[in-house]
């Protein structure tokens, strides 16, 4: 597989030919450092924005530059505090509509409320669909999302939705570590498709599955491993790490089954308490590799943590959407 980072750097050298006069990037307050990296890759600056609160907590947004007739990309992961982040994004969309933007694309590196993507019991809300409805109603023309919790969420939008993956960035990093005897492990049956695709990118590494059952929300009980992991380098792959219960229970089981090394990989570092205490346990993980789709607070950094940037990948996707070229070909 051709390294995405290498390909991205090659394309960056050719960006002098890109017409970005009508391309505008606007960052919300959720992840301004990622937005700055994306702007650097594209070769432009983020549009200045005033974001503040009134005394009662209401959000106020004002765009500080004309965007009339422009192709506007709003960079805002809807991470914690998820309600504020989502509301801020919708207010930004409304401001852009009223400023006569030609097209508004919501760039959502992490899509909050995604885990409630179907009804598993009576009288539940499907908040992944509700959130999509809210964004469409606010005036978004297109969505660019990364590693949605389930592929079906892409179909919840009644507008174009480009879904990209953080796996090439993770694979590029792991390929530099010269790992041997690799087995890619899905922490549950629901993540098998993700793990299988990841294993294919890892030179068709073998696949193992952890049979996991939940007794309650955020409570995982790992029962057994389906596949051979003894004396292997096990790479646990998931879309997100929240409290760390699932990934840590899986790692403990892999250690018990004889795995010599365990590396956890995930696109989204949600890291809700007590994730730090669980993930930083000595001897459990050799490394925990995540991306900067969500900003990782300093208090959640630990020795085994490695944070990779997805800015180049998102920047390339933004350029392709702006130029009306293929986004999916980035991953072939």
Q: Using H for helix, E for strand and C for coil, what is the string for 122-173?
A: CCCCCHHHHHHHHHHHHCCCEEEEECCCCHHHHHHCCCCEEEECCHHHHHHH
- Strands 23-27, 71-75: pairing is parallel
Report the alpha-carbon distance of residue 50 to residue 303 in Å, rounded.
36
Cα(195)–Cα(187) distance, integer angstroms? 9
Q: What is the pLDDT of residue 219?
A: 63
Catalytic (active-site) positions: 212
Contact 268, 110 (CB under 8 A): yes
Give me the percent of the chain exceeding a pLDDT of 90: 87
> What is the structure's pLDDT at 2?
44
Q: What is the pLDDT of residue 17?
A: 54
DSSP 6: H
CB atoms within 10 A of CB 281: 14
With a cut of 80, say whether residue 304 has pLDDT above it.
yes
Quick check: helix, strand or coil at residue 317?
Answer: helix
Higher-scoring residue by pLDDT: 5, 51:
51
Say if CB 26 and CB 73 are below 8 A apart. Answer: yes
Q: Which helix (H) or strand (E) holds 212?
A: strand 207-216
Q: Mean pLDDT for the chain?
A: 92
Confidence of residue 221 (pLDDT cuts 50, 70, 90): low
Question: Quick one: average pLDDT of 57-62?
Answer: 97
Average pLDDT over every residue of 170-187:
96
**What is residue 315's three-state secondary structure?**
helix
- Asked if the bond preceding 81 is cis, omega within 30° of 0, the reply is yes
Nearest one of 272, 293, 39 to 166, comparing CA atoms: 293
136 pLDDT above the threshold of 90:
yes
Q: What is the pLDDT of residue 15?
A: 44
pTM: 0.92
Residue 282 has a pLDDT of 94
In whole angstroms, how large is the CA radius of gyration of the chain? 20
What is the distance between the alpha carbons of residues 39 and 25, in angstroms, rounded to a whole number?
Answer: 7
Asked if residue 19 has pLDDT above 90, the reply is: no
Q: Return the closest-CA partner of residue 76 out of 62, 93, 63, 60.
A: 93
pLDDT of res. 14:
44
| 106, 93 contact by CB (below 8 A) | yes
Query: What domains can you pick out in the chain, each with its CATH number?
Result: 4-165+311-331 (3.40.50.2020), 167-308 (3.40.50.2020)
- Which range, of 201-205, 221-225, 276-280, averages the lowest pLDDT? 221-225
Residue 300 has pLDDT above 50, yes or no: yes
Q: Which residues contact 205 (CB under 8 A, 6 or more apart)?
A: 182, 183, 184, 199, 235
Q: Quickly count helices (H) and strands (E) in the chain.
A: 9, 14
Residues 50-71 have a mean pLDDT of 97
Strand, coil or helix: what is 27?
A: strand
Gap between the Cα atoms of 249 and 245, Å rounded: 6
- Phi and psi at residue 146, in whole multiples of 5°? -120, 130
- Please answer whether residues 72 and 103 qualify as being in contact, where contact means their C-beta atoms are separated by less than 8 angstroms: yes
């Amino acid at each position: 597989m051709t390294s995405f980072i290498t390909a991205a750097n090659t394309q960056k050298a050719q960006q002098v030919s890109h017409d970005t006069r009508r391309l505008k990037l606007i960052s919300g307050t959720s992840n301004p450092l990622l937005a700055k990296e994306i702007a650097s890759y594209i070769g432009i600056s983020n549009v200045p924005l005033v974001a503040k609160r009134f005394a009662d907590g209401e959000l106020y947004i004002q765009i500080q530059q004309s965007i009339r007739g422009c192709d506007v990309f709003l960079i805002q992961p809807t991470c914690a505090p998820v309600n504020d982040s989502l509301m801020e994004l919708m207010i930004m969309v409304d401001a852009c509509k009223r400023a006569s933007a030609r097209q508004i694309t919501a760039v959502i590196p992490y899509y909050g409320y995604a885990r409630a993507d179907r009804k598993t019991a009576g009288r539940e809300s499907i908040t992944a669909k509700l959130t999509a409805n809210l964004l469409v109603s606010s005036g978004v023309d297109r969505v660019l999302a990364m590693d949605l919790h389930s592929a079906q969420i892409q179909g919840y939008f009644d507008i174009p939705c480009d879904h990209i993956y953080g796996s090439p960035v993770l694979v590029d990093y792991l390929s530099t570590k010269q790992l041997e005897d690799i087995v890619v492990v899905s922490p549950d049956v629901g993540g098998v498709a993700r793990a299988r695709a990841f294993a294919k990118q890892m030179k068709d590494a073998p696949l193992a599955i952890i049979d996991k059952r939940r007794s309650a929300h955020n409570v995982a009980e790992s029962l057994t491993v389906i596949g051979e992991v003894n004396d292997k380098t096990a790479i646990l792959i998931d879309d997100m790490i929240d409290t760390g219960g699932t990934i840590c229970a899986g790692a403990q089981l892999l250690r018990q089954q004889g795995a010599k090394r365990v590396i956890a990989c995930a696109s989204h570092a949600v890291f809700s308490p007590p994730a730090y205490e669980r993930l930083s346990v000595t001897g459990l993980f050799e490394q925990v590799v995540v991306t900067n789709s969500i900003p990782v607070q300093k208090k959640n950094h630990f020795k085994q943590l490695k944070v990779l940037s997805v800015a180049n990948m998102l920047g390339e996707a933004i350029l392709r959407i702006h130029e009306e070229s293929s986004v999916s070909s980035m991953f072939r």
